[in-house]
Amino acid sequence: MPDPPPAPLLTLRGIGKSFLGVRVLDGVDLDVAPGEVHAVVGENGAGKSTLMKIVSGAYVPDEGTVELAGEPRAFRGPGDAQRAGIGIIHQEFNLLPERTVAENVYLGHEPVRRGLVDRRAMLDRTGRLLASIGETALPADARVGRLGVAQQQVVEIAKALALDARLLIMDEPTAALADHEVELLYGLVRRLQERGIGLLYVSHRLTEVFDLSGRITVLKDGRRVTTVDTADTTADELVRHMVGRELSSYYPDRAGPGDVGPVRLTVRDAGNQKLRGIDLQLRAGEVLGVGGLQGSGRSALARALFGVSPFTTGDVTLDGRPVRLRSPRTAMRAGIAYVTEDRKGEGIVPRQSVLDNALLASRAIFAARSGRAARTERVRELLAAVEVRAAGDDQEIRFLSGGNQQKVVLARWLALDPRVLLFDEPTRGIDVGAKSAIHDLVRRLARDGAAVLMISSDLPELLGMSDRIVVMRDGRLAGELPAGATEEDVVALAVGNVPETAR
């Protein structure tokens, strides 16, 4: 695999892309040779997905050139790229569960004889295609919805091959697979390589990257940091390339030794469909940071604690009393608040006023009639206290900036006097000024005695804000780090590259 690659199949030169003035890709170069597995790694938001979408025709690059087998190409859409021989296997499969394997593989280009769909040919060709990648056990007439995730992935790959794909993009192909299925995928990848198909392999998991790839390109903040031969590098070196930025911004002071109070929330050996063996303690007055990659179970943890998708096993105690958090309503009544990651979808009601949004939770929880005026008064005070900038309480919240919307969401929860606050990406999509205002608020809440759990993909924020950090991987807590840990520590735990000493 480390041989010098033959004439490249795909050549990217100087690819740049901006969204709404934000530069997400800048001057990225990349080559893939036939039969080569080229891995692309980087943190969340490093630009991997955008780059893959450009190669697969979903986005048009602002700058730079895409060449396929030496020919410059400008794809006008995913269909264009498909016809040129570029297939993409998304994390979320593009399959119809109600249809058979063959019907899915040939969707959009069904073999036709005398104007009618030739079922026999469709089944035969699908069978041959599956056999050619060593999948003889998969019947071409099985309904896709009955197949396991790994088999569905095979169907996706067959679907791409049916279009004569020469280059396959795999975006986190193992994210949905169980451990033993990963081995099967390895075999499949090697057979695709033997057929001379080039593979762009995007993954967070360094183990896989080292097992499969010939070369690795590291992206960071939309730029290519380096491209290395896999044989010549180590996991530690890669992690250093992936992070390595200065902690420049200001964060409020951490909790002093006197500030941290008694244990508020204890989770013992809890789990559900997405989480396993969670042991956790949250103390009054501290901010517990939760790190990890997307899909590692961070949000699932917050959603379990808030009763959205509750724990099915294990115990939770709040202030020493066992609680069952089986719905958001019970969680709220127990004193837990949740600031969701998806502010637009789950956090605000866009067409309602600032005041209505801020009153949402109190109205839902407290008996309807009593103390209505007092409640409104209190929420008004809270809105002022968190310094929401709006034209008035009756302005529709959708016209506010992201930061101000988030403050309204905060005021909503503060009206309930929560004892435990769960923040999921509290500053995502919020401008710098409002960010530090939110940081100050979070810290102030902790100082006033609340227990705070804060999920963040923004490593400087996670390190700057947290008194303690737990890192998640594959639905488990991969490890705990004290304040003052480095970005490398967090990333190493998150991708599963744990030095022997830590075990």
Partner 1 sequence: MSARSLLPARRPVPGVFVALALTLAIGWLVVLVDGGQLFNQSTTVSLLHVAAGLGFVAVGQTLVILGGSLDLSVAYVISLSTLVAAETMNGNDGAVVPAIGLALAVSAGIGLLNGLLVTKLRVNAFIATLGVGLLLKGYLDSGYDGPAGTTSPTLVQTLGYQRVGPVPLSFLLLVAVTGMAWFALSRTRFGHHLVAVGGDAEVARLSGVRNDRVLVTAHVLCSLCAGLAGIYLASRLGSGAPRVGTEGLYDLESIAAVVIGGTALAGGRGGVVGTVGGVLLLASIDAVFNQLDVDAFFKQVIRGAIIIAAVAVYARRALRKAAS
Question: H-helix or E-strand containing 27?
Answer: strand 22-32
Render 292-350 in DSSP notation, one character per residue: E-TTSSHHHHHHHHTTSS--SEEEEEETTEEE---SHHHHHHTTEEEE-S-IIIII--T
> What is the CA 139 to chain-centroid distance, rounded?
33
Name the phi and psi angles at 370, rounded to 5: -70, 135
Q: Which stretch binds partner 1 (CB under 8 A): 106-114, 208-216, 258-266, 276-284?
A: 106-114
Considering only 18, 19, 65, 109, the residue that binds partner 1 (CB under 8 A) is 109
Considering only 123, 133, 255, 453, the residue that binds partner 1 (CB under 8 A) is 123
Q: Which stretch binds partner 1 (CB under 8 A): 114-122, 232-240, 378-386, 438-446?
A: 114-122
Q: Does 95 bind partner 1 (CB under 8 A)?
A: yes
Long-range contacts of 355-360 (CB under 8 A, 24+ apart): 355/379, 355/380, 355/383, 355/393, 355/394, 357/397, 357/408, 357/409, 357/412, 358/382, 358/383, 358/408, 358/411, 358/412, 358/415, 359/412, 359/415, 360/412
Residue 144 or 278: which CB sits closer to partner 1?
A: 144
Sign of the dihedral through C-alpha 303, 278, 471, 290: positive
Find the shortest distance in angstroms from Cβ 150 to partner 1: 17
Q: In what order do the strands lie in the sheet with 86-89?
A: 86-89, 167-171, 198-202, 37-41, 215-220, 223-229
Q: Rounded to whole angstroms, how far apart are CA atoms 155 and 161?
A: 10
> What is the CA 47 to chain-centroid distance, rounded?
13
Tell me which residues in 159-178 interact with partner 1 (CB under 8 A). 159
Q: Which stretch binds partner 1 (CB under 8 A): 24-32, 137-145, 178-186, 427-435?
A: 137-145
Residue 75 or 306: which CB sits closer to partner 1?
A: 75
> In one letter, which amino acid is 398?
R
Q: Rounded to whole angstroms, how far apart are CA atoms 203 and 495?
A: 10
Residue 78 or 460: which CB sits closer to partner 1?
A: 78
For residues 48 and 210, the answer to whether their CB atoms sit within 8 Å is no
Q: Does 76 bind partner 1 (CB under 8 A)?
A: no
Find the shortest distance in angstroms from Cβ 113 to partner 1: 10
State the Cα angle at 139 between 137 and 140, rounded to 5°. Answer: 135
Q: Rounded to whole angstroms, how far apart are CA atoms 163 and 159?
A: 7
Q: How many other C-beta atoms are found inside a 10 Å radius of the C-beta of residue 161? A: 20
Q: Does 100 bind partner 1 (CB under 8 A)?
A: yes
Taking each helix axis as running N to C, give the angle between helix 402-414 and helix 354-365, from 0 to 180 degrees, rounded to the nearest 10.
30
Residue 137 or 432: which CB sits closer to partner 1?
A: 137
Residue 129 or 438: which CB sits closer to partner 1?
A: 129
Find the shortest distance in angstroms from Cβ 57 to partner 1: 10
Q: Does 52 bind partner 1 (CB under 8 A)?
A: no
Residue 126 or 296: which CB sits closer to partner 1?
A: 126
Q: Rounded to whole angstroms, how far apart are CA atoms 348 and 406?
A: 9
Q: Does 372 bind partner 1 (CB under 8 A)?
A: no
Q: Which stretch binds partner 1 (CB under 8 A): 139-147, 346-354, 388-396, 451-459?
A: 139-147
Size of the site for partner 1 (CB under 8 A): 37
Residue 97 or 244: which CB sits closer to partner 1?
A: 97
Find the shortest distance in angstroms from Cβ 180 to partner 1: 20
Find the shortest distance in angstroms from Cβ 122 to partner 1: 9
- In terms of phi and psi (left: phi > 0; alpha: psi -120 to 50; beta: otherwise), the region of 225 is alpha
> How many angstroms separate the Cα of 143 from the Cα of each of 95, 103, 409, 480?
11, 9, 44, 44
Q: Does 65 bind partner 1 (CB under 8 A)?
A: no
Find the shortest distance in angstroms from Cβ 134 to partner 1: 12
Q: Does 138 bind partner 1 (CB under 8 A)?
A: yes
Q: Rounded to whole angstroms, how far apart are CA atoms 464 and 251?
A: 6
Strand partners, 468: 288, 482
Q: Which stretch binds partner 1 (CB under 8 A): 3-11, 134-142, 250-258, 452-460?
A: 134-142
Find the shortest distance in angstroms from Cβ 164 to partner 1: 14
Find the shortest distance in angstroms from Cβ 145 to partner 1: 7
Q: Does 344 bind partner 1 (CB under 8 A)?
A: no
Q: Which stretch binds partner 1 (CB under 8 A): 75-83, 182-190, 203-211, 378-386?
A: 75-83
The terminus-to-terminus CA distance of the chain in angstroms comes to: 32
Q: Rounded to whole angstroms, how far apart are CA atoms 496 and 486?
A: 16
Q: Does 134 bind partner 1 (CB under 8 A)?
A: no
Token pair recorded at residue 76: 């006008």
Residue 112 or 502: which CB sits closer to partner 1?
A: 112
Considering only 14, 19, 29, 120, the residue that binds partner 1 (CB under 8 A) is 120
Tell me which residues in 143-162 interact with partner 1 (CB under 8 A). 143, 145, 159
Q: Does 244 bind partner 1 (CB under 8 A)?
A: no
Residue 155 or 265: which CB sits closer to partner 1?
A: 155
Find the shortest distance in angstroms from Cβ 84 to partner 1: 13
Considering only 78, 261, 350, 460, the residue that binds partner 1 (CB under 8 A) is 78
Q: Which residues bind partner 1 (CB under 8 A)?
A: 78-79, 82, 94-100, 103, 107-110, 112, 115-117, 119-120, 123-124, 127-128, 130-131, 136-143, 145, 159
